[in-house]
A = this chain, B = another copy of it.
Amino acid sequence: MSTPETTTDVPQDFEALKAVILERKAQLPKRLKQVAAYSLDNPDEIAFGTAASIATSADVQPSTLVRFAQHFGFEGFSSLQQIFRARLRERTPGYEERLKALRGDDHSRLESGSIFNGFVAAAHRSLDNVATSVDPEAFERAVDILAKADTIYLIAKRRSYPISSYMAYAFGKLKVKYQHVGTAAGIDDDMLAMATRQDAAFAVSFSPYASESAAQARLLANRKIPVVSLTDSAFSPLAESSKVWFELVEADHAGFRSLSASMAFAMALTVAIAEKRRRAGDAAI
């Protein structure tokens, strides 16, 4: 019984360690307190750095790090470092990996499950991407243009159609006047013929671009009706006709591109427009 509680109370994961450090921080000697603060502020440094580099960075001696580790029951600095590394290891891995973790328990033992996982992963990736690829100022301008419009024309065909049909649904709920262009090919152009400069259009088209969408956007642009568009390339035919356009590349699984990012974008745009109108309305009262 010379080492009565050797490993029992040694923190085994980062959260536990953090708790213990915070708990005992007050009663810690000066240098150890310094290390404590540094370690919680720069956990990544501790995970990756060497004792020497960390010591320099935290402005202490390497031996202090060892004492610090031993103070909390670890054998040496290295074993404490493992905690910091494990933290990064277990940190929400990539979606692929996360799904791989699911693999064992149930999904994709069955082949369809892996298809399912693939699409979920692709959707995640898409969303990750969209957060950085959409310029918020451009978004603001797009909201401006569409919020001012009398009627919003929604142009989308084929793969983009679900997006505009969601917007149509939401606009209806939000009492925003719109026209959904993209259903029956015949009446589309008649619809667009009625558009005036007080209106605006939102067009969605991804490669391979539906030629009608591009043509319709061009038609409106020629008549000085502002067009906002969502597409997947700077070379998209929509870009040249648009006052504001967004490039949004969806991730794919097995060649089938996700719609999650476009959908999230569409929802945000829809709600932002309605919100802006509501405020303008309030102000007018």
Contact = CB atoms under 8 A, between A and B. Distances in A.
Interface stretch (A30-38, A114-122, A194-202, A220-228): A114-122
A32 to B, nearest CB: 23
B109 A136 contact: yes
Contact of A119 (B48, B132, B137, B268): B268
A123 B263 contact: yes
A20 interface: no
A152 interface: no
A264 B258 contact: yes
Nearest to A257: B267
Given A115-B268, A272-B115, A99 B131 contact: yes
Q: How many copies of this chain does one complex carry?
A: 2
A169 B256 CA distance: 12
Interface stretch (A53-61, A89-97, A185-193, A234-242): A89-97
A112 interface: yes
Nearest to A139: B112
Contacts of A122: 264
A167 to B, nearest CB: 9
A162 B169 contact: yes
Interface string A128-151: 101110111101100100000000
Contacts of A176: none
A233 interface: no
B108 A136 contact: yes
A181 interface: no
B127 A260 contact: yes
A272 B112 contact: yes
A37 to B, nearest CB: 15
B159 A162 contact: no
A260 B259 CA distance: 7
Contacts of A134: 116
8 contacts: A92-B93, A92-B128, A117-B131, A119-B264, A119-B271, A123-B264, A165-B165, A260-B263
Contact of A115 (B48, B161, B169, B271): B271
Contacts of A278: none
Interface string A252-285: 0110101111011101100110011000000000
Contacts of A275: 112, 115
B110 A136 contact: yes
